[in-house]
Amino acid sequence: MHDDDEPVGRVLGRRQALILLGAAGATLAVAGSTTASATTSSPGAPDICTLDCVVKPEQMEGPYFVDERLNRSDIRSEPSTGQLVPGTALAINFTVQQIRQQQCTPLPGAMVDLWQCDAFGLYSDIPSQGSRGRRFLRGYQNTDQTGAARFTTILPGWYTGRTLHIHIKIRTTGTNGRPYEFTSQLYFTPEFGAAYLRTEPYRRKGPADTTNSRDSIYRNGGAQMLLRPQQTGSGYTADFAIGLDLSNTQVGRPD
pLDDT tens digit string along 83-135? 999 999 999 999 999 988 778 899 999 999 999 999 999 999 999 999 999 99
Interval 19-36 mean pLDDT = 33
DSSP the chain: --------S----HHHHHHHHT-TTSPPPPTT-SSPPPEE--TTSPPEE-GGGT--------TT------B-SB--B-TTT-PBPSS-EEEEEEEEEEEETTEEEE-TT-EEEEE---TTSPPTT-GGGT-TT--TTEEEEE--TTSEEEEEEE-----TT--S-EEEEEEEE-TTSSEEEEEEEEEE-HHHHHHHTTSTTGGGT-S-S--GGG-TTTTTTGGGGEE--EEETTEEEEEEEEEE-TT-HHHHS--
Question: What pLDDT score does 53 carry?
Answer: 59
Question: What pLDDT score does 54 carry?
Answer: 54
Contact between residue 165 and residue 62 where contact means Cβ atoms under 8 Å apart:
no
Interval 7-21 mean pLDDT = 40
pLDDT tens digit string along 168-210? 999 999 999 999 999 999 999 999 999 999 999 999 999 999 9
Interval 50-55 mean pLDDT = 48
Question: What pLDDT score does 8 carry?
Answer: 39
pLDDT tens digit string along 33-46? 333 333 444 445 44
Domains of the chain with CATH codes:
89-245 (2.60.130.10)
- Which is more confidently placed, 32 or 195? 195
- At 38, the amino acid letter reads A
